[in-house]
Structure 1
Amino acid sequence: MPDDAPRARRHDPQRRDRIIDACLDVVVAHGVAGTSHRKVAAAAGVPLGSMTYHFAGMDELLREAFTRFATAASDQFERRLGAARDAAEAKAAVVALITGDVLTTRRDLVLTSELYTLAAREPAFRDLTNRWMARSRAALERHFDPVTARMLDALIEGLTLHRALDTEPHDAATAAEAVERITRPAG
């Protein structure tokens, strides 16, 4: 092949997805502040030029990556609550989310914390966290009124973070009691 002949482009339909997945891995390893096009390209095994071909900038890449993460978390949340057939099963599903489904890995904890921090610093990313919370509340509202769903969503977030960060083990009975208190009829 002559030196001046154009090179054939390598067909790589999964490249964009690999870049998004690699971005999440880089965020886990280096935080949002330490994430760069160069690090993501290296982690994805793609040429640096692929970054600007697929994404207008780092904000777009981070938005795509965190959207993928939040969507997967919301899907899991909806599956757990969608399987509940009555109020008792819905309460048990909430306890399962708190004690074993959400933030069960260091990766999930770091990604969640990085997304929350990014949304706190950059209002443009709050739409991601707001959509995530809206999906969580909608799943809860299949079984609970909107006010109770909002309280349960906050409880899940809070107790899950405590479980993930506390040095002392957490008792599932405490989570069950908290859910029971929030869902108890007034009066």
Structure 2
Amino acid sequence: MSGTRREVPNDPGRRDRILDAALDVVAGSGVFGTTHRKIAARAGVPLGSLTYYFDGMDDLLAQAFARLADTMSRFYRRSVRDAASTAEAEAAVVELICGPDYANDRDMTLIFEMYAYANHSPAVRDITRTWVARSRDSLSLHFTPAVARALDALVEGWPMHRRFDAAPLDRRLVAGVVHAVVGAAPRLPDAPP
């Protein structure tokens, strides 16, 4: 029978709203303070919707973190992709580290939660590993694999430090370090995949 309720969802955006709500709850309560009830309330959906779309909390969190990693990976790639020179690519890396758009406070909270949860969840560990590989792949559009690896460590690490520092990052210092890493390329061995 065509057009049955099972074939035509009455709320096609529900799954995405649940994933967005899960990230909001994790950002506010942490992974271990996240519950099905909090997510359902935040998404404005019946509690049973979560078990309809996801095989438990681990699956829901893994898919929510996959959504976060994908969103951030796409932003990362767009940020460096269009650089027309090494200098422009370096500037894009500095903007990823110092700018307000990548790894804002909410994103940093979610990244910390994802990294911590990855220690206990093989699925989230794989998501995190894939995210790191995507970041390095984006940087490899302009830099050698070894330089991409080093720059990615700066892009990941410096915003983490920024989160806890009392003073803003010194953009000139960051630019100088990025330039020094890029300039050290002939001396850096290519890293294994």
TM norm structure 1 = 0.91
Q: Is 2:39 the partner of 1:40? A: yes
Q: Give, in angstroms, the shift of residue 165 of structure 1.
A: 2.0
What is the CA-CA distance between 1:83 and the residue it aligns to?
A: 1.4
Q: CA RMSD in A?
A: 1.6
* CA deviations over 1:90-129 (Å, ceiling 9, x no partner): 111100100013222x211110110011112333321111
The count of corresponding residues between Structure 1 and Structure 2 is 179
2:77 alignment partner in structure 1: 78
- Please identify runs of 4+ aligned residues in structure 1 that moved more than 4 A: none
- The aligned counterpart of 1:148 is 147
Aligned residue in 2 for 1:158: 157
> In 2, distance between residues paired with 1:160 and 1:107?
12
Larger Rg over CA atoms: 1
Separation in structure 2 between the aligned mates of residue 54 and residue 61 of structure 1, nearest angstrom: 8
The runs of 5 or more residues in structure 1 that have no matched partner are 1-7
- Mark the runs of 5 or more structure 2 residues left unpaired by the alignment: 188-193
**Residue identity opposite 2:159 in structure 1:** T
Q: Give the TM-score, by structure 2 length.
A: 0.88
Residues 4-49 of structure 1: CA deviation (Å, up to 9, x unaligned) = xxxx898111111111111001101110001111111111111111
Q: Give, in angstroms, the shift of residue 77 of structure 1.
A: 0.4
Counterparts of 1:16 and 1:123, CA distance in 2: 23
Pairs within 5 Å for 1:40-119:
40-100=39-99, 101-104=101-104, 106-119=105-118
Identity of aligned residues (%): 51
Is the 1:103–1:164 contact (alpha carbons within 8 Å) kept by the matching residues of 2? no
